[in-house]
Amino acid sequence: QKEVEQDPGPLSVPEGAIVSLNCTYSNSAFQYFMWYRQYSRKGPELLMYTYSSGNKEDGRFTAQVDKSSKYISLFIRDSQPSDSATYLCAMKAEYGNKLVFGAGTILRVKS
């Protein structure tokens, strides 16, 4: 079993839709939860990070962490064609350097 599971998609939505991206994990030691956006042939860009459980909102993006279910989500409101990219979840324990990434979900927003 992988430490982090993420549906690779692709997920296709019309412009303006609300997008829900999700990851599940098995390691209860994870405390930091991040979402990265990766455009084709580019390095990942940090979108959101959350420590422990709860919600965090930044503009059109909302990150949710449910540690009891070992489940995290990223919501994108009013999705735009420019949001089309691969979205990677990543997690880290309290101590140590290692980020563990999900496989990434390909998102396509159609105009």
Q: Is 88 in the site for another protein (CB under 8 A)?
A: yes
Contact 10, 103 (CB under 8 A): no
* Tokens found for residue 63: 């990150």
DSSP strand pairing (105-110 vs 54-58) = unpaired
- 3 state SS of 17: coil
Of the candidate spans 2-10, 12-20, 57-65, 72-80, the one that interacts with another protein by CB under 8 A turns out to be 2-10
Total interface residues for another protein by CB under 8 A: 23
Which residue number, 14 or 95, has a Cβ lying nearer to another protein? 95
Of the candidate spans 13-21, 62-70, 77-85, 98-106, the one that interacts with another protein by CB under 8 A turns out to be 98-106
Of the candidate spans 54-62, 63-71, 74-82, 95-103, the one that interacts with another protein by CB under 8 A turns out to be 95-103
DSSP strand pairing (4-5 vs 54-58) = unpaired
